[in-house]
Amino acid sequence: MKNHNLFVTLREAFPAELDAVAVETADTPEPLHYTWRDLERGTAMIANLLDSLDLPAGSRIAAQVDKSVEALMLYLAVLRAGHVYLPLNTAYQAGEIEYFVGNAEPAVVVCTKRNFGWVGPIAFAAGVQHVYTLDDDRSGSLLERAAWHGDVHRPAVAQPDDLAVIVYTSGTTGRSKGAMLTHENLRSNALVLKDCWGWRSAAEGGDVLIHALPIFHVHGLFVAIHGALLNGSKMIWFARFDPKAVVARLPEATVFMGVPTLYVRMLGEAALTRAQCAHMRLFVSGSAPLLIETFDAWRERTGHTILERYGMSETVMLTSNPYRPESARRGGTVGLPLPGVQLRVRDDKGQPVPSGEVGGIQVKGPNVFKGYWRMPEKTADEFTDDLWFKTGDVGRFDADGYVTIVGRSKDLVITGGYNVYPAEVEALINELPGVAESAVVGVPHPDFGEGVIAVVVPRPGAALDGAAIVAAMKGRIANYKVPKQVFVVPELPRNQMGKVQKNLLREQHQRLFQPA
Ligand code: AMP
């Protein structure tokens, strides 16, 4: 019987030379070199530890740990042992952890030593039997226990539809939901990306990935890690993103993946030059919209065109700009649906919209998740009757099939009964002289239901005036779209994945139009 365990697919791709370096750490006190054999043995030992606990297959193993190669091994070991990995953002506080532990009912929780004092009691109170610690200096009870176990392990047999990971969505509206991803969701997507992005075999010179993203999220955990492992490619491993240090390592690498903020910060480094990037093959961006200014500035400075792709926790990757020819990568778009992924645009009533017009993006494919953990109603709400997943993103197809994301449907502002897409207004504001970027949101308004406002960041050295921006917008777009007020701020609030936290902006200004 074929074993559909994702770990097996990844391990089959390990190079024959098991003593070659698989991961080299870039920001530990001394560089550490982990061979493919180390990954094989380390994951076997942790998987044997998990087996020794006699957990039912498919038990949830939650981890809120700092980024380290051992944390990567924990993820792989959970797959290997046939359990379900539950990565938790290191920024989560007690109330959030209590919710996740209560909702997911993990059998095992792994946390840092510094958080054990509060994570432990929360987990034990919720009935979790096993709480281990893991720190980014290769210490903690998880590794101490695993050290007692053998380094040979037969991977658990998994069916394609078995759960591999539950990723909790960031939950900017309402409770965070656990997206259930199967072995086949992750495997099929990883294989498609390997093909589409031209990962090079060892015979073609191989690839080296700079990994500088967090590993509790789709981008760093799946797209980047699966990409490298499935190609038997070495990773240069940054526990924290540091633009100077990453730029310094580019000559040793061929692939880099980042959220837009990382590209902006690297552009701030004088050492980022064409020569420094000469060895690079591919720069990928995603998780949040890449500004066209960044896309252009990167090409100008490095000679490379950033490849932007689009995906989400519930679906892994959905679209990508073409790998070849490089000139076919279009800034401001997220490219074309990946092979095997179907994508359509629908209006509020579920009817098709003509190409070029904006609507809700719906998708289907082997990559689309199984549903939200223990939320059957919520799951049913997010799928159409003919089983397309409603992404909640608003976008359009252009005539030759490229997809542009215009925003989130929940970001849509309805003012006086008219729909305003923030991205349209933001694009116009961003064209004004001296504007670096902007965020448009709706806040409660006594007459209009919601009132449009904008928060604008000036370019370095530019002085902006909110009232002048309002005046400049008048006559350029319908009056109901013109922000009623514009705030000038030094920077927009963003989360670790580079997404603008519009919920914070809405909260901050929610009383703006309310009578005193
Ligand atoms: P997450 O589930 O945290 O990965 O967030 C997924 C959401 O990020 C998507 O639904 C989009 O709204 C947004 N997103 C991801 N990639 C892009 C992109 N390239 N451009 C614009 N938005 C993106």
Position 174 confidence tier, pLDDT thresholds 50, 70, 90: low
Amino acid, res. 265 = R
* pLDDT more than 90, % of the chain: 87
Distance 102 CA to ligand 1 centre (A): 27
pLDDT over threshold 60, residue 173: no
pLDDT digits 0-9 by tens, 20-32: 999 999 999 999 9
452 close to 483: Cβ distance less than 8 angstroms: yes
| pLDDT over 80 at 516, yes or no | no
Q: What is the 291 CA–ligand 1 centroid distance (Å)?
A: 14
> Can you read off the two tokens belonging to residue 264?
């902006």
Q: With CA atoms as reference, report the closest residue to 146 among 161, 134, 137.
A: 134
Q: How does pLDDT run across 329-371, given as a tens digit for each residue?
A: 999 999 999 999 999 999 989 999 999 999 999 999 999 999 9
120 has pLDDT over 60: yes
Q: Ligand 1 mean position to 321 CA, how many Å?
A: 15
Is residue 176 over pLDDT 90? no
**Tokens 């087996």 found at:** 51
Q: pLDDT tens digit string along 371-409?
A: 999 999 999 999 999 999 999 999 999 999 999 998 888
- Residue 141 belongs to what H/E stretch? helix 141-146
Q: Ligand 1 centroid vs 310 CA: distance in angstroms?
A: 6
**How does pLDDT run across 301-312, given as a tens digit for each residue?**
999 999 999 999
* pLDDT tens, position by position, 476-509: 888 889 999 999 999 999 988 888 999 999 999 9
The C-alpha atoms of residue 501 and residue 495 are separated, in whole angstroms, by 7
3-state secondary structure (DSSP) of residue 109: strand
**Each residue's pLDDT tens digit, 291-302:** 898 999 999 999
Sign of torsion over alpha carbons 83, 89, 91, 93: negative
Residue with tokens 């019987």: 1
- The pLDDT value recorded for residue 514 is 85
Nearest-CA residue for atom 4 of ligand 1: 312
Cα gap 259→212, rounded to integer Å: 10
pLDDT at residue number 446:
83
Higher pLDDT, 514 or 3: 3
Other CB atoms closer than 10 Å to residue 288's CB: what's the count? 17
**Length of the chain (residues):** 516
* The predicted structure's pLDDT at residue 478: 87
What is the CB neighbour count within 10 angstroms for residue 453? 24
Q: 267 CA to middle of ligand 1, Å? A: 22
pLDDT at 103 over 60: yes
Q: Which atom number of ligand 1 is nearest to the Cα of residue 407?
A: 12
* CB atoms inside a 10 Å sphere around CB 379: 19
Average pLDDT, the chain: 95
Residue-level pLDDT at 416: 79
Transcribe 399-444 into DSSP letters.
Answer: TTS-EEEEEEGGG-EEETTEEE-HHHHHHHHHTSTTEEEEEEEEEE
CA atoms within 13 A on the CB side of 258: 26
pLDDT computed for residue 171 by the predictor: 59
Question: Which numbered atom of ligand 1 lies nearest the CA of 179?
Answer: 2
Q: How far apart are the C-alpha atoms of 424 and 407, rounded to whole Å?
A: 9
Hey, whose CA ends up nearest to atom 22 of ligand 1?
A: 288
Would you state the structure tokens that stand for residue 201, as one six-digit string? 């075999």
Q: Which residues pair with 441 in a beta bridge?
A: 453
Atom 8 in ligand 1: which residue has the minimum CA distance?
287
Pocket test of ligand 1: the residue of 172, 176, 189, 287 to mutate, having most ligand atoms within 8 Å of its CB, is: 287
Q: Which numbered atom of ligand 1 lies nearest the CA of 392?
A: 10
Judge contact between 231 and 207, C-beta under 8 A: yes
The candidate with the shortest Cα–Cα distance to 109, out of 55, 40, 155, is 55
Instruction: Determine the residue type at 159.
Output: Q
Q: Assign 283 to helix, strand or coil.
A: strand
As a whole number of angstroms, the distance between CA 252 and CA 236 comes to 9
pLDDT of the residue at 496: 83
**Residue 216 pLDDT > 60, yes or no?**
yes
How remote is the CA of residue 194 from the centroid of ligand 1, in Å? 20
Helix (H) / strand (E) element for 319: namely: strand 316-320
Other C-beta atoms lying within 10 Å of the C-beta of residue 514: 10
In this predicted structure, the answer to whether residue 172 has a pLDDT above a threshold of 60 is: no
Render the burial of 71-80: b for 16+ CB within 10 Å, e for the rest: bbbbbbbbbb
Amino acid identity of residue 283, one-letter, is F
Residue 475: per-residue pLDDT = 84
* H-only helix segments in 165-291: 183-196, 218, 225-230, 243-249, 260-267
Return the C-alpha torsion angle 181, 184, 189, 191, nearest 10. 150
**Structure confidence by residue, pLDDT tens digits, 418-458:** 788 898 899 899 999 999 999 999 999 888 889 999 999 99
Three-class SS state of 321 = coil
What lines the ligand 1 site, CB under 6 Å?
169-170, 218, 286-289, 308, 310-313, 334, 391, 393, 405, 408, 497
Q: Which among 262, 316, 389, 405 is the best mutation to test ligand 1's pocket, defined by most ligand atoms within 8 Å of the CB?
A: 405
Which ligand 1 atom lies nearest to the CA of residue 334?
19
181 strand-pairing partners = 165
